[in-house]
Structure 1
């Protein structure tokens, strides 16, 4: 009985934390702590993207690019950590 409770508790805990961890958020650090745009652009080019524009939106870098197949991509990254965020318009909120 105790093992079932522990397993159920673990599943609920992971399920509740999952979306908040996966979504990420924009940086609240001062701009002097942010990574340079050029570092993000180099990272994306190494991944096969052709960067058209990088904008700053509320602590995030919003990237407009095309992938190897020529498909447009709109992505958002935390400006301090360069962590990719699930919501492409994360900084616009």
Structure 2
């Protein structure tokens, strides 16, 4: 039984970060943060923003980093939390 509890605890620790992947907002669009706020945040991180699209409660960002590398990321439109899945709004 002790072994089962230890394995269950370890599984919870491993799965925990996966569950914290974040999701798109389900709030009304009036609750969304302005795109300009996200753009300013991204510029502060050294990105050059090419486009920000709204898709199903997410902001999908297309940008370029300091090294010229393309960046595609998704953010919760209400909280501006970066999501693990860059295609979150398309699902």
After TM superposition, the score normalised by the length of structure 1 is 0.88
Deviation (angstroms), 1:6: 4.6
Shift of 1:12: 1.6
Paired residue for 1:19?
Answer: 18
For structure 2, the 5+ residue unaligned runs are: none
TM-score (norm 2): 0.90
1:25-76: per-residue Cα shift (whole Å, max 9, x none)?
1000111111110000000000000000000011000000000111111110
Describe the SS at the equivalent of 2:11. Answer: helix
**Equivalences for residues 56-71 of structure 1 within 5 A:** 56-71=54-69
State the distance in 1 between where 2:52 and 2:8 align. Answer: 42
CA RMSD of aligned residues (A): 1.5
Structure 1 residue 17: deviation in Å?
2.7
